[in-house]
Amino acid sequence: MLENCKMCPHKCGVNRINDKLGICKAGAKIKIALVSLHHFEEPCISGDKGSGTIFFSNCNLKCVYCQNYKISHEGKGKEVTANELSNIFLAQQEKQAHNINLVSPTIYVEQIIEAIKIAKKKGLSIPIIYNCGGYENVETIKMLKGYVDVYLPDFKYFDDELALKYSKVKNYTKVAQDAILEMHKQVGSPILDDNGIITKGVIIRHLVLPRIY
């Protein structure tokens, strides 16, 4: 897929293996900017021990209001192999994280699946969360079946003109709806364990954007 990248709905068709860059500006290697135990996601995600977040560099959305601008727009971060990423997953599990929280993973799905496969062989057992902006290919989401336990998509816009103006993407409404339906088909509605921590399901986030009218 990286040789003719159509991983997200932009379908740039560039050869990322040969250092050609598409809209997201991501290369063939996984690039990450931050690994943390996040205590400020939804309570059913962060719980009392935290969510094991991994923030990926670059993004297929170009939101003018992005709070992680340096990471998502400027690509700040460090390259890691799939094996190194699998070790990061396991380190988060060691730290008692409730889950692995993949933040803006869309443009690295192929490589992330590889990392999950390796990590599971080494003993990764906590839920995997796919935390994305909602601008996803159904075909790519289908590749994640069986690897992702919880989908955490944004549904940012119900107006394609606003999506184009503020995130530079076309057809956001239909694209995101189709992707979310596929996510729900795979994992269904939220299931919480006895401690109120999500183990499976879809949670949709809506953005509140002040002064947009």
| Binding residues for ligand SF4 (CB under 6 A) | 5-8, 10-12, 14, 22-24, 26, 60, 107
- Counting beta carbons within 10 angstroms of the beta carbon of residue 150, is it exposed (0 to 12), middle (13 to 18) or buried (19 or more)? buried
Backbone angles phi, psi at 34, to 5 degrees: -155, 135
Supply the minimum distance, in Å, between the C-beta of residue 26 and ligand SF4. 6
DSSP per-residue string spanning 53-84: EEEESS-S---TT-TTHHHHTT--SEEE-HHH
Q: Between 7 and 141, whose beta carbon lies closer to ligand SF4?
A: 7
Supply the minimum distance, in Å, between the C-beta of residue 11 and ligand SF4. 5
Distance of alpha carbon 40 from the chain centroid:
17
Q: Give start and end residues of each alpha helix (H) in 18-63.
A: 43-46
Supply the minimum distance, in Å, between the C-beta of residue 158 and ligand SF4. 23
Contacts with 201 (C-beta within 8 Å, 6 or more apart), sequence order = 150, 151, 187, 188, 189, 190, 191
Q: Between 7 and 198, whose beta carbon lies closer to ligand SF4?
A: 7
Q: Distance (Å, rounded) from C-alpha 74 to C-alpha 71? A: 6
Supply the minimum distance, in Å, between the C-beta of residue 92 and ligand SF4. 24
- The residue number whose beta carbon is nearest to ligand SF4 equals 22
Q: Between 45 and 61, whose beta carbon lies closer to ligand SF4?
A: 61
Q: Between 24 and 44, whose beta carbon lies closer to ligand SF4?
A: 24
Supply the minimum distance, in Å, between the C-beta of residue 60 and ligand SF4. 4
Q: Between 175 and 197, whose beta carbon lies closer to ligand SF4?
A: 175
